[in-house]
Amino acid sequence: MSVFLNTRALSGGGGVAAAVTACTATASSNAPLSVNDLKSFVHGKDVLIATHGFNVNRADGIACLSAWEPLLQLPASAVFVGLLWPGDSESLYALSYPVEPENAMQAGTMAGQFVDANFGNAASVSFAAHSLGNRVLLQAIRSMNRRVRRAILMAAAISDDCLTAEFADVPAKVDSITVLSSMMDDVLQWAFPVGNFAAEILGRDHPWWQAALGRLGPRVAPSNFAPPNRIPDEWNYGHLDYLRTDPAASMPIPPPSAVPEGGAAPLHGSPGWQQAWSASLVASRFR
């Protein structure tokens, strides 16, 4: 059983709930977790809170995060907490807009305030997110008073200048920021059409440029950025490869020290090697 924070009002679609609740859950069952039990679970631990992306209902969010957790191989001093939000209430088209969607922002605010109120006895708090879930992550950090140890942004469906523009206040609240991006991410290529168009005729520093952080990395990296961030093109790493349950994840991969500059992918050809690798990289930055 994995531990989850739930900001959803419904199991599918819908908006955010009136309040954050906690539970232990698998894809087939779940049980409420009291705030006191949650506080005991995180007491003295380095907490990693991870969330999914868009077009993910409650059951799928539980399934993909539960499958990803064991691949992290976190040390005994750390615990994993999944974060569920109504990403299936937004369309893929919403990824085209740098300040949308509203539900991600509301869920992030709720989650950040909840963590502030209830994770005070944790040794540290870190975040990881996929796709549009990175907007939840950034808004959660913005809403918190306590400092965040690590923030790992995977395939971020948000503008490539977000760390110096829309969320310019966030980097100062985090010890270390990691961005995992891939030029082979077709979803982000087409979901940010202005950036795709601009790539053909404009330089990246042009004011009309609009591209995704999860495809090109940050336009301007903050001082606490942990490079490198670009996954080698020859790995053909797509948008859904970071966090998924189909195909089944392969065996855990020992944490790398950095994203390789190129060469063969680890366990290439093995089922689910991509999410095993993304978990390994996150673990390397978390420790």
pLDDT in tens, 62-94: 999 999 999 999 999 999 999 999 989 876 666
For helices 273-286 and 58-72, give the axis angle rounded to 10 degrees: 70
Q: Is 33 helix (H, G, I), strand (E, B) or coil?
A: strand
The amino acid sitting at 237 is Y
Helices (H), the chain: 35-42, 58-72, 102-118, 133-143, 186-191, 193-201, 213-216, 273-286
Residue 201 has pLDDT above 50, yes or no: no
> For the chain, what are the domain ranges?
2-286
DSSP tag of 225:
B
Q: 172-176, 200-204, 280-284: which range is least confident on average? A: 200-204
Residue 226 has pLDDT above 90, yes or no: no
pLDDT bracket for residue 257 (50, 70, 90): confident
The length of the chain in residues reads: 287
User: Residue 199: what pLDDT?
Assistant: 47
Tell which residue, 25, 187, 169, 234, has the closest CA to residue 93.
187
Give the pTM. Answer: 0.92
User: Residue 94: what pLDDT?
Assistant: 64
pLDDT in tens, 163-175: 999 999 999 999 9
